[in-house]
Each structure stands twice: as structure tokens, then as C-alpha cells.
């Protein structure tokens, strides 16, 4: 049995998932297993929900093989990738990564493989950092956190905030129109002692 394994990360399109499916089936996968979405929790830690990877490995025998589209399907971080490879190796399961052209069945698999892998991981780490950043930014946007450079608080802005609060305008309205971070807004109120008369 050859299993094609896909781990889906937040922000990835259906098109990319289908692209992976096609590549895995073309490479000889008898079945496709799609793992649950990897998301960022409220503390900024990435969590896998109902991971199928362990279940997939446990259901496989030494005669089975696992195919992935690329190394990042084994984990978002390098430690996760090595942990996944270790699990596959401990069960003597053959595995293949299409993008990096790594196949544990190759006669060169061994010292030559590890040399190639470490070389690839240098490039992968840069890509993973970028992906991690994108996931974090998307998560922040969903939580309503304003991104980008902080608003520079000038005397004009302070005076504008003072007048608008005095007129009874809501904080939410002012923050939104000034495109100001909520924490920056309230720090400004405290620093300049801006209160409604």
C-alpha cells in the first residue's frame, strides 16, 4: 500500500491541495490522506488539530510506503520534520518527497541522503519562517489586530482625538478612522490625559 500524505496549513488554497493530490496519485499513491489544518492558538503557538500522521504510520506495515509532496508536509518546523522521519525510520516504512526528489529506497539513501537533506533544510528553514510569518499575520488580522508601522502620534493627532472625544464620538470610531492600534490609542489618552469633559 502506497499512501499519499497531505498536511494542510492555514491560508493554503484548494487549488494547491488539488495540485498535491494529482502529484501524489501520479507518483503511485493508492490512497490520499489529508491531515487537519494547522492553526495558531491565542498564545501564538502552532497546534495540529486531530493529526492523522500518527494514525497513518500506525496503520502501515514495513512493506508500505508514504509519499509527500514536499518536506514541509511533515511539519512546519525542522524539529517536526526530523521527528516524523524518525517515526517512519523506526517502523521501516519507505518514504518519498517529490519536490526534493528524496526516496528512502534509493541506493544512495544514507550518508549521501543526509548531506542532501541538510543542504535542503537550509533553504527550507527560510521558506518555513516565511510561511510561519504569513500564518501569524493572517491569524492576527482575523483577531482584528492592526498590522504595519505604528501610528506616529503628532500634536495634530492628539488635538484631533481630544476634540472628537469631547464631542462624544466613540473610541471605536476614532480608532477606526485614524487606523490606529487600540493599545496605542489608549496609551495616548493616558499620556496626554485626554478625558471627556
| pTM, 2 dp | 0.55
State the pLDDT confidence band at 23, using cuts at 50, 70 and 90: very high
Q: What's the whole-number average pLDDT of the chain?
A: 78
CA distances, 91 to each of 1, 38, 44, 188 (Å): 15, 25, 33, 59
pLDDT of residue 66: 94
pLDDT of residue 32: 92
User: Under a CB-based contact definition with an 8 Å cutoff, are residues 80 and 46 in contact?
Assistant: no
pLDDT of residue 38: 59
**Alpha carbon distance 27, 157 (integer Å):** 60
pLDDT-wise least confident of 21-25, 78-82, 96-100: 78-82
**Alpha carbon distance 194, 111 (integer Å):** 67
pLDDT of residue 18: 92
> Is pLDDT larger for residue 113 or for residue 160?
160
**Alpha carbon distance 88, 54 (integer Å):** 10
Q: In what order do the strands lie in the sheet with 2-9?
A: 46-48, 31-40, 2-9, 65-68, 94-97, 102-103
Amino acid at each position: 500500500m502506497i499512501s499519499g500524505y497531505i498536511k494542510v496549513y492555514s491560508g493554503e488554497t484548494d487549488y494547491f491541495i488539488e495540485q498535491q493530490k494529482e502529484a501524489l496519485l501520479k507518483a503511485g499513491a493508492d490512497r490520499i490522506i489529508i491531515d487537519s489544518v494547522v492553526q495558531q492558538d491565542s498564545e501564538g503557538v502552532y497546534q495540529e488539530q486531530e493529526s492523522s500522521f500518527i494514525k497513518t504510520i500506525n496503520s502501515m506495515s514495513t512493506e508500505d510506503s508514504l509519499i509527500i509532496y514536499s518536506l514541509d508536509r511533515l511539519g512546519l518546523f525542522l524539529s517536526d520534520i526530523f521527528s516524523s522521519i524518525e517515526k517512519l525510520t523506526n517502523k521501516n516504512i519507505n518514504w518519498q518527497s517529490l519536490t526534493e526528489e528524496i526516496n528512502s529506497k534509493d541506493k544512495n539513501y544514507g550518508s549521501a541522503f543526509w548531506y542532501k537533506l541538510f543542504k535542503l533544510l537550509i533553504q527550507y528553514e527560510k521558506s518555513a519562517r516565511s510561511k510561519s510569518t504569513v500564518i501569524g499575520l493572517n491569524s492576527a488580522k482575523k483577531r482584528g489586530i492592526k498590522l504595519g508601522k505604528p501610528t506616529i502620534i503628532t500634536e495634530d493627532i492628539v488635538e484631533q482625538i481630544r476634540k472628537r472625544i469631547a464631542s462624544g464620538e466613540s473610541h471605536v470610531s476614532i480608532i477606526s478612522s485614524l487606523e490606529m492600534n487600540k493599545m496605542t490609542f489608549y496609551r495616548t489618552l493616558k499620556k496626554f490625559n485626554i478625558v471627556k469633559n
